[in-house]
Amino acid sequence: MSLVLASAVLVLTGCNCFSKMAKNRDDVQLTCTPEVLVLNNGKVDADVKVTFPVKYYNKKAVLKVTPVIVFEGGEVAGTTQYFQGTKVDDNYTVIDQKMGGEYTMHVSFPYDERMACSSLQLRAEIKCPGGKCKEFTLVNLNNGEIPTKEEAAVLAAGGAEADALKRQFGLTIAQGVNTLQQDINYAAAMQNMASNYQNVTTEVTKADYVYAINSSKLSKKATETDDLKAFQQNAVDQKDNDRIKQNLYVKGYASPDGPEKFNDKLSAARSESGKKAAEKLLKEVGLELDAASYGEDWDGFAELVAASDMEDKEVILSVLRSYDSSTDREIQIKNMSQVYDTLKNDILPKLRRAQLINSSDITGKTDDEMAALVRSGEFAQLDEKEMLHIASTGKLTQNETIATLEAAAQEYKSAAAYNNLGVAYAAAGEGEKAAEAFQKAVAVGGKTSQLNNNLALVNLMNGDTEAAKGYVNGASSETKALAAAAEGNYAQAQSQLDGYNAAIAATMNADYTAAKQAIAQDKSAKADYLRAIIATKQGDFTVATAELKSAIAKDGAYAERCKKDVNLRQYIGKEIQL
């Protein structure tokens, strides 16, 4: 025993200015805040507070301290800090021997996935004006010793053995990194653009029976026009399609010239004669026709005038807007002698009609039919609205959803297709692809409220909070809350979020009751896993076991994750069998 102590004294006195400091090393106070490192905004930050006691620090000593995060397969060194005594002629932080000193060292590391299971060490080197430490010499912060001759040779040789020895000499001040921030689901707050899909659409076809002025009798020529033949063929073609319901109407009109009462009777007569002609035309279809009269056709008049190339059409349309009375309108228009002949010859004859209308309600593909086409790769059988719709129903797998929206974007190159594809990429964890898709959506459709919101979220997802700030002000309150969470402001974020994201924020804010309430109805694997973390933090290892087993049963990936999760360190330390 005395030989060992003597050897230690010889080692310690090898660095003249450090021997007393080494003996009294336990008097130096070290604290690390936070005690468990936390991933925040792509970085791992901590403040290490070092308090040197009075009459401790040698006036001639220089201490070099380097923070290092150590993990399986590597390590990352932070910024080195230097401390010096009052008699050292250098420009480092001075620690006065008489007064002692307190120094807070901020350490920051860009996050590496391997850091989830890691330790934060401080490594120190000492330099003295005399003795064995005239150059910076590694010190074992756990016992105050400098390397033996053999250890010095290992350090000089470098390689894996030297790295291992450096780790032995380091003082561990924190274990693991809490990476719960990575679990924030930004994609859940992203907004799809509407597909505008309707399962039942209405297509309207029209054809006119045209009459002579003041007549309700149809000539043979008037019943055999190409428009009427095409109308008939369309109705025949649709009659056996069980997805199409045809609704047939005949509307009788009179042109808006002449006495209004006369025209009312005339339009009624035309509806009746038009119905008889239509029943004969559509006999093969076998559907009933409704007939009604609409008097003077001012709406048709305005429509034909607006579609014409008449020079004074805006004046005519202005008259129609200015007068409600049929008589007043007719008087004003007839006073426009310069255009009335054109109206009389080109517009009014077309309004002496019975209009045949087929309003067809067409029922589209079912969701199951669309899903089947997706699975067989027959995207050409779907239009854009159908593809955007089926991708939003939840009937497709994640990969099928992406494939469908990729096909829509490639074929139609619309803002909606690109935007919704970006949302799908984000849900799959493909942040870079999502950002590219959103930018394409902006290029073809301009920046909409949905795209502004989604660009904020995808930048947060990709760890670029600075870029996200350019979009956050115009984003939703939920996105603003997620931006706060991304910067570690969990108390601010918690009140504006719900569901799983609210539970993450509440857990990081140590509000475990609120966290459990937020996911009370969520039976997913990720919710079970979070409940296991919450139970561990509350010391309830029975619940932690049950929830972790449930999470692993639903998603086997959690079996490996839990072994390295610092949030479950206390639980795993109990060596409970899963």
pLDDT tens column, 498-509: 999 999 999 999
Q: What is the pLDDT of residue 14?
A: 61
Looking at every residue in the chain, the average pLDDT score rounds to 91
CA angle 14, 20, 22 (to 5 degrees): 75
| Strand-strand pairing, 29-40 and 177-178 | parallel
Greater confidence, 437 or 96?
Answer: 437
pLDDT of residue 8 exceeding 70, the answer is no
Structure letter (DSSP) for residue 96: B
What average pLDDT does range 533-549 have in this prediction? 93
pLDDT at 335: 86
Lowest-confidence pick of 93-102, 169-178, 263-272: 93-102
Residue 384's contacts (CB-CB under 8 Å, 6 or more residues apart) are 408, 411, 412, 414, 416, 417
Task: Give yes or no for a contact between 263 and 296, defined as CB atoms under 8 angstroms apart.
Answer: yes
| Integer Cα distance of 169 and 163 in angstroms | 10
The model's confidence at residue 578, banded by pLDDT at 50, 70 and 90, is: low
- pLDDT bracket for residue 20 (50, 70, 90): confident
pLDDT for res 197: 93
Give me the pLDDT at residue 18, please. Answer: 86
Strand 93-94 relative to strand 81-84, pairing: parallel
pLDDT above 80 for 3 = no
In three-state secondary structure terms, 92 is coil
pLDDT score of 529 more than 90: yes
Q: For residue range 430-471, what is the model confidence (pLDDT) as tens digits?
A: 999 999 999 999 999 998 999 999 999 999 999 899 999 999
Look at residue 234 and tell me whether its pLDDT is greater than 50. Answer: yes
3-state SS assignment for residue 471 = helix
- Check residue 573 and give its pLDDT: 56
| Cα 484 to Cα 509: distance, rounded to the nearest angstrom | 13
Helix axis angle for 477-486 and 499-508, nearest 10°, is 30
CB within 8 Å of 364: residues ≥ 6 apart: 198, 199, 200, 201, 243, 386
At residue 488, the pLDDT reads 92
Cβ atoms < 10 Å from Cβ of 476? 18
Strand order of the β-sheet with 101-110 is: 101-110, 43-52, 29-40, 177-178
Coil, helix or strand at residue 255: coil
pLDDT for residue 98: 87
267 pLDDT more than 70: yes
Task: Indicate if the pLDDT at residue 492 is higher than 70.
Answer: yes
List, for residues 32-55, the tens digit of each pLDDT value.
Answer: 999 889 999 889 999 999 999 999
Give the pLDDT score at 526: 96
Closest CA to 522 of 554, 496, 545: 554
**Res 17: pLDDT:** 87
pLDDT in tens, 560-573: 899 889 998 777 65
CA atoms lying within 13 Å on the CB side of residue 95: 27
Element (H, E) at 417: helix 415-427
Residue 59: what pLDDT?
A: 92
So what's the pLDDT on residue 4?
A: 30
pLDDT in the model for residue 6: 30
SS3 sequence, 364-401?
CCCHHHHHHHHHCCCHHHCCHHHHHHHHCCCCCCHHHH
Q: pTM of the predicted model, to two decimals?
A: 0.76
Decide: 77 and 68 in contact? Cβ < 8 Å: yes
Nearest to 312 by CA among 339, 288, 343: 339
